[in-house]
Structure 1
Amino acid sequence: MDLEPSIRRHAAALRALLVFTVLLGLVYPVALYAVGRLPGLQDRADGSLVRADGRTAGSSLLAQPFTGAAGEPLRRYFQSRPSNAGDGYDPLASGASNLGPEDVVDVPGPDGRTSLLTRVCERSAAVGELEGVDGSRPYCTDGGVGAVLAVFGERAPDGTVPHPARVVSVNERPGTVDAPFVARYRGVPVELARPGEDYSAGLIVPVRGDAPADPVVPPDAVTGSGSGLDPHISPAYAALQLDRVAAARGVAPDRVRALVEDHTDGRDLGFMGAPRVNALELNLALDRRFPVRG
């Protein structure tokens, strides 16, 4: 048996392995590292870290909370948008809630979850209370949950229930509220949801309510980004927080407004994306210009 061709093939394969190991396992990584050390690129290669007072305060590419020990928003800082990354703002667990606009019914119990609608309602009410503005939104109750009814009865060909036999406010339960957000629906008294009872057979009807069509609290204040780590907030959300931050720092709102404008980036290339404000960079600028005394 002639082994020479087989030996030549194996030798060629071994040479290719050694060449590509050197190229891709040594030369290529070293070249990328060297490029990352070039002036103007080093900061980005290192994660765009931001330092303040000799310590790393965070990354300009990643959102982070500006809260106290108990998780309460610090009044002297602009707050980031909500995060669903891990337990919140976890750079190792980037991600969204993956809940869509039709997710309107809460699932109670230890293994349950809060619907997207109720999360939005809760956040909007909390932001409204923090900023001293109207936090109401369409399809939200005054108590900050999704205003959703389960309507039982014979269904018409178009899927509606013109003559309900029973109506339940599925996101409100005894002990959380004294009465449903609406007393009657098409002449039928509305009940509070009972723990453990299944309402999936009912027609789910969100109720818009009388909240303004254009809420005071902007969308990015109540929804997380796709990554959960977007470091930017909208100029509208920054404007909403401006008076609170100025009061906490004891400075005139106009001075804080000017700082916000200085840290507002326009659309990329003039037409891509939307104007935005980097919350971390803005808060660090606040600490430098208007430090909190005491």
Structure 2
Amino acid sequence: MNFANLVRQHWAALRALLVLTVILGLAYPVVIWLVAQIPGPNDKANGSLIEVDGKLLGSSLIGQAFTDADGNPLPQYFQSRPSAAGDGYDPMATSASNLGPESIVDTPDKSSLLTLVCERSAAVGDLEGVDGTRPFCTGGGVGAVLSVIGPRDARGNVVNPTRVISVNEPCGTTQAPLLDTYEGVRVECRQPGPEGDAYSIGQIVPIRGSAPADPAVPADAVTASGSGLDPHISIAYADIQVNRVAKARGVSRAEVQHAVAAHTDGRFLGFFGEPTVNVVELNLALDRAQ
């Protein structure tokens, strides 16, 4: 290949690059942006922003924490589901907790997913005046998990336990161990320091407990969404908050229920998923009504 042909090929490639850059890198994005600004879809294209009296309050697509400076729930507002995104609902740190069903044993520096669920369920129960107990949780709101120590059979299951430790209940707390005895062996609380690590040689046994199979506190009240930004809650979670919000605002339960219904989104395409309530829009509507 001579030099002249090499120059022609590179010049053709450069022209194609410039033309495609103008079309796909400039013209196409501008056209799409102009189409998105057509009245109607432009609100969603711009982020579904919520403004009141010229003040930006957030987006109807991103959840918010309706709490005071100390993190306590504000009684006049519906509460969102938990968030693991940064300090909560941070679009720059959208994420999940990455804790799964096998996360049932607490460590000194991190609570297990089971204990987080138990703590949240107990807290929601106290706030809403409903039964906050749920399966595999202790009365103190931690994961009900035992380490059963003793000889094992061929399948690895302990037979004739010699020692039983409640691994998520450290000694010194006001709560008694979740059980007095397990298979005739006294249940101990977990000791601090190296002594407390004795549980690691035992068989980890979750304890179902006597809580109802269908807890009064729904699952979305105690678990975060995958993105950590979801502004929606289930109708069940909204329902148990109605009495508290109505009392705090000095309005009737029927008025609050009407607001909930007005901000409930149905199933996608009529059959995908479950109906949900947008907490951000609902709380804003209640503020506007007053």
Fold in common (TM above 0.5):
yes
Distance 2:3 2:268 in 1: 63
Q: CA deviation at 1:38?
A: 1.0
2:150 is the alignment partner of 1:153: yes
Structure 1 alignment gaps of length 5 or more: none
Q: CA deviation at 1:16?
A: 1.3
Runs of 4+ residues over 6 Å off in structure 1? none
In the alignment, which residue of structure 2 is the partner of 1:253? 253
Contact 1:235 1:276 in 2 (8 A): yes
In the alignment, which residue of structure 1 is the partner of 2:221? 221
Q: CA deviation at 1:213?
A: 1.1
Contact 2:89 2:229 in 1 (8 A): yes
In the alignment, which residue of structure 2 is the partner of 1:107? 107
Distance 2:37 2:283 in 1: 28
Equivalences for 1:1-294 in 2 at 5 Å?
A: 2-108=2-108, 112-196=109-193, 197-198=196-197, 199-289=199-289, 291=290
Contact 1:141 1:181 in 2 (8 A): yes
Distance 1:169 1:156 in 2: 22
Contact 1:265 1:277 in 2 (8 A): yes
**Could you list the per-position Cα deviations for residues 38-62 of structure 1 after superposition, in whole angstroms to 9, with x for gaps in the alignment?**
1112111110011223311211111
Q: Which moved more, 1:211-220 or 1:178-187?
A: 178-187
Q: CA deviation at 1:24?
A: 2.2
Looking at secondary structure, tell me which structure has more helix per residue. 2
Identity of aligned residues (%): 63
Q: CA deviation at 1:116?
A: 0.4
**Could you list the per-position Cα deviations for residues 244-270 of structure 1 after superposition, in whole angstroms to 9, with x for gaps in the alignment?**
000000011111111111211111111
**Could you list the per-position Cα deviations for residues 67-91 of structure 1 after superposition, in whole angstroms to 9, with x for gaps in the alignment?**
1111110000000000111222111
Q: CA deviation at 1:178?
A: 4.8
Contact 2:76 2:249 in 1 (8 A): yes
Contact 1:94 1:227 in 2 (8 A): yes
Contact 2:106 2:167 in 1 (8 A): yes
Distance 1:141 1:178 in 2: 9
* CA RMSD after TM alignment: 1.3
Q: CA deviation at 1:23?
A: 1.4
**Could you list the per-position Cα deviations for residues 220-278 of structure 1 after superposition, in whole angstroms to 9, with x for gaps in the alignment?**
10001111111100000000000000000001111111111121111111101101000
The one-letter code matched in structure 1 to 2:146 is L
Q: CA deviation at 1:177?
A: 3.3
Contact 2:104 2:143 in 1 (8 A): yes
Contact 1:82 1:228 in 2 (8 A): yes
Alignment length (residue pairs) = 287
**Could you list the per-position Cα deviations for residues 162-214 of structure 1 after superposition, in whole angstroms to 9, with x for gaps in the alignment?**
21011100001122235312111111111111223322221000111111111
Distance 2:70 2:176 in 1: 31
SS in structure 2 at match of 1:82 = coil
Structure 2 alignment gaps of length 5 or more: none
**Could you list the per-position Cα deviations for residues 81-119 of structure 1 after superposition, in whole angstroms to 9, with x for gaps in the alignment?**
0011122211111111121112100011xxx31100000
Distance 2:74 2:28 in 1: 45
Q: CA deviation at 1:157?
A: 2.4
Contact 1:149 1:207 in 2 (8 A): yes
Contact 1:52 1:284 in 2 (8 A): no
Distance 2:204 2:2 in 1: 78
SS in structure 2 at match of 1:172 = strand
Distance 2:254 2:85 in 1: 34
